[in-house]
Structure 1
Amino acid sequence: MARRTTQRALLLLTAVVASLVGGSSGGVYHIIGAGKGWRMPPNKTYYEEWASTRNISIGDKLMFLYRSGVYNIVEVPSRELFDACSMRNITNRYQRGPTIIELTEPGTRYYFCGVGEHCEVGQKVVIKACAVASPPPDEPSAAAVLMLRPAGLAACCLVAAALLMAM
Structure 2
Amino acid sequence: MTLSCAVLKLAAMVTIVALMPSQFVSTDAAIYDVGWSPDTDLQAWADSKTFYPNDSLVFQYTPEYNVLEVTQLSFMNCLTTSPVIEYNGGPTMIKLSEPGPRFFISGGPESCLIKLSINVSSLPH
Higher helix share: 1
Contact 2:69 2:85 in 1 (8 A): yes
Of 4, 11, 33 in structure 2, the residue corresponding to residue 31 of structure 1 is 33
Deviation per CA, 1:74-122: give whole Å up to 9, x if none: 01122x2102210243100000211000011101010011012341x3x
1:81 counterpart letter in structure 2: S
The runs of 5 or more residues in structure 1 that have no matched partner are 1-24, 135-167
Aligned pair count reads: 99
Q: What's 1:52 paired with?
A: 47
Q: Which residue of 109, 114, 117 maps to 1:126?
A: 117
* Partner SS state of residue 57, structure 1: coil
Q: Which residue in 2 is equivalent to 1:86? A: 79
Following superposition, the deviation at residue 53 of structure 1 comes to: 0.2
TM-score (norm 1): 0.55
TM score, norm. by length of structure 2: 0.72
1:14-41 Cα offsets, whole Å, 9 max, x none, are xxxxxxxxxxx63100112xxxx11122
**For the residues of structure 2 that align with 1:114 and 1:88, how far apart are their CA atoms?**
9
Q: Letter of the 1:59 partner, please give it.
A: N
The counterpart of 1:63, out of the listed 28, 52, 58, is 58
Larger Cα-atom Rg: 2
CA positional deviation for 1:133: 3.6
Per-residue CA distance 1:56-86 (angstroms, 9 max, x = gap): 0001000101112x111001122x2102210
Instruction: Tell me, yes or no, if the aligned pair for 1:40 and 1:118 is still in contact at 8 Å.
Output: no
Alignment of 1:130-145 (within 5 A): 130-133=121-124
For the aligned residue pairs, the C-alpha RMSD in angstroms reads: 1.6
Q: In structure 2, list runs of 5 or more residues that go unmatched.
A: 1-26
The answer to which structure, 1 or 2, has the higher relative contact order (CA under 8 A, 6+ apart) is: 1
Partners in 2 of 1:48 and 1:106 — Cα distance? Answer: 18
Q: Is the 8 A contact 1:77 1:89 kept in 2?
A: no
Higher strand share: 2
Indicate the percent of aligned positions where both proteins have the same amino acid: 29
The AA in structure 1 aligned to 2:118 is I
